[in-house]
């Protein structure tokens, strides 16, 4: 997920298990303000309780892990088209292993019970966002901390033991804070260094997971972009788009060279910033690897932005409005034109719509239309769940669906809209 998610999480001061931390900025339209003509009768009523979509729930009982031996599961030699045809809808474990430490952004320690709850909810695919940067040594080896690698492998095994597909990625490997461009800034000046870091990192991951079958998918980069520039979110420049194409190819070559089952590993390659805009999609489609039937285009979309993501945006969306549907239709038609019609499989690795103080019906309608359209196009979609839930007075990226402490999904209406 975009690193701007960190800005929302920095506002969190108190960790309340899987509940979201909140700032003090009021949400527009949250009903907390009264007008001058409010009657005395109305003002004498006790205030309504704050909107509370994620009430306290008892912690889930732990479930014993049955174990997982990767070599006990054969590797099928199938195309990525065949692979994604077996996938329907997926769930992101956001703001967990992409944080500086597992519980650093307010979510509880991951358990097998959580993963089992994702499976039981109906998801057949799981995206595991991981930031490796804080767990690697110094140049030139950039060795990944062994304990951290073990922990990631443990969670991967939990997912695979339940028969779900697991996407393992590199998430916030990008310029941090006030640091210089460096890692990961996709321009020609930094391309050699970035590529070296990318292949060094993925070489270690490929070696560790070389015995795993096709249910484990590697995603080379997450939203690579010109961070901190005016081009960051507008589709980038032609130079940056071409640099990303070359880095994608370096990632593919690296995985293929690392033996074991990596020759048949399915790999996801992002557009610039994982954008679904026309130019980044066109450039990736033109530079997509040839003669490899196990590669997949990777895009993200939170549209329309004013409803799905933007801070202070609108709480309203209705399937009855053609103007509401247009952005979604245009985006999926664009993906069909540049990927599907060109025989390039594609996965929507992140999407969702934030909770704006209780606009549940609008979110349900949006979810049904977005995920339904994706299904018609043959594009598996993954909901971005960062564990953030709306709290009174909060303002942020409230994408949470599952109370992780309880291992329980708290918006069954949205789940139903995804699944049907």
Question: What confidence score (pLDDT) does residue 21 get?
Answer: 33
Mean of per-residue pLDDT scores for the chain: 88
Q: Where are the beta strands (DSSP E) in 259-356?
A: 267-270, 295-300, 346-351
Q: Residue 136 is part of a domain; what is its CATH number?
A: 3.20.20.80
- Sequence-distant (≥ 6) Cβ neighbours of residue 171 within 8 angstroms: 1, 97, 98, 129, 130, 131, 222
- Residue 322 within a domain: no
Residue 243 inside a domain? The answer is yes
pTM (2 decimals)? Answer: 0.87
Instruction: Write out the DSSP string of 279-298.
Output: HHHHHHHHTPPSS-SSEEEE
Q: Which residue has the tokens 């009657």?
A: 39
| Closest to 418 (Cα-Cα) out of 116, 124, 79 | 124
**Total number of domains constituting the chain:** 1
Q: pLDDT tens-digit profile of 340-355?
A: 999 999 999 999 999 9
For residue 35, being part of any structural domain is answered with: no
Residue 190 in domain: yes
Q: Does the structure show a pLDDT above 50 at 413?
A: yes
- What local confidence, expressed as pLDDT, does residue 54 receive? 60
In a domain, 236, yes or no: yes
Residue 168 makes CB contacts below 8 A (sequence gap 6+) with 128, 130, 152, 156, 205, 209, 216, 217, 218, 219
List % helix, strand, coil for the chain (3-state, nearest 5): 35, 10, 50
**Residue 400 forms part of a structural domain:** yes
Stretch 263-291: mean pLDDT: 98
What pLDDT score does 396 carry?
Answer: 83
- Pick the range with the lowest mean pLDDT from 43-52, 68-77, 122-131, 225-234: 43-52
pLDDT digits (tens, 9 = 90+) for 80-112: 999 999 999 999 999 999 999 999 999 999 999
Which range has the worst mean pLDDT, 29-38, 383-392, 393-402? 29-38
Tokens encoding 101: 């430490």
Nearest Cα neighbor of 93 from 352, 386, 403 is 386
Domain that holds residue 158: 5-21+80-298+336-351+369-419
Domain assignment of residue 326, yes or no: no
Known catalytic residues are: 223, 350
Lowest mean pLDDT among 53-67, 141-155, 355-369: 53-67
Does residue 196 lie within any of the structural domains? yes
């Amino acid at each position: 997920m975009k690193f701007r998610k960190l800005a929302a999480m920095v506002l969190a001061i108190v960790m309340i298990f899987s509940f979201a931390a909140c700032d003090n900025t009021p949400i527009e339209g949250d009903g907390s303000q009264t007008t001058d003509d409010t009657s005395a009768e109305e003002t004498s009523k006790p205030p309504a309780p704050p909107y509370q979509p994620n009430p306290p729930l008892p912690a889930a009982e732990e479930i014993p892990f049955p174990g997982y031996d990767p070599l006990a599961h054969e590797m099928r030699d199938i195309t990525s088209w065949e692979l994604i045809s077996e996938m329907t809808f997926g769930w992101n474990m956001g703001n967990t292993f992409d944080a500086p430490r597992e519980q650093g952004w307010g979510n509880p320690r991951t358990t097998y019970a959580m993963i089992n709850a994702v499976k039981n909810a109906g998801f057949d695919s799981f995206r595991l966002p991981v930031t490796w940067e804080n767990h690697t040594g110094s140049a030139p080896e950039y060795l990944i901390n062994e304990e951290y690698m073990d922990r990631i492998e443990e969670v991967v095994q939990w997912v695979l033991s339940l028969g779900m597909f697991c996407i393992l990625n590199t998430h916030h490997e990008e310029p941090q804070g006030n640091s210089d461009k460096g890692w990961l800034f996709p321009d020609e000046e930094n391309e050699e260094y970035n590529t070296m870091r990318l292949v060094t990192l993925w070489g270690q991951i490929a070696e560790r997971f070389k015995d795993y079958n096709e249910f484990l998918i590697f995603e080379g980069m997450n939203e690579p972009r010109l961070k901190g520039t005016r081009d960051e979110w507008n589709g980038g420049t032609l130079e940056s788009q071409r640099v990303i194409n070359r880095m994608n190819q370096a990632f593919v070559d690296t995985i293929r060279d690392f033996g074991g089952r990596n020759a048949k590993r399915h790999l996801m390659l992002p557009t610039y910033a994982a954008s679904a805009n026309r130019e980044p999609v066109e450039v990736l489609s033109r530079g997509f690897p040839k003669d490899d039937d196990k590669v997949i285009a990777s895009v993200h979309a939170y549209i329309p932005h004013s409803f799905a993501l933007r801070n202070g945006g609108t709480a309203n969306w209705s399937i009855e409005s053609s103007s509401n549907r247009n952005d979604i239709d245009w985006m999926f038609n664009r993906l069909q034109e540049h990927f599907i019609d060109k025989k390039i499989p594609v996965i929507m690795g992140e999407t969702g719509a934030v909770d704006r103080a209780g606009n549940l019906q609008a979110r349900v309608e949006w979810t049904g239309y977005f995920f339904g359209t994706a299904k018609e196009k043959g594009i598996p979609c993954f909901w971005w769940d960062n564990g953030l839930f709306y709290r009174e007075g909060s303002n942020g990226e409230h994408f949470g669906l599952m109370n992780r402490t309880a291992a329980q999904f708290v918006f069954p209406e949205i789940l139903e809209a995804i699944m049907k």
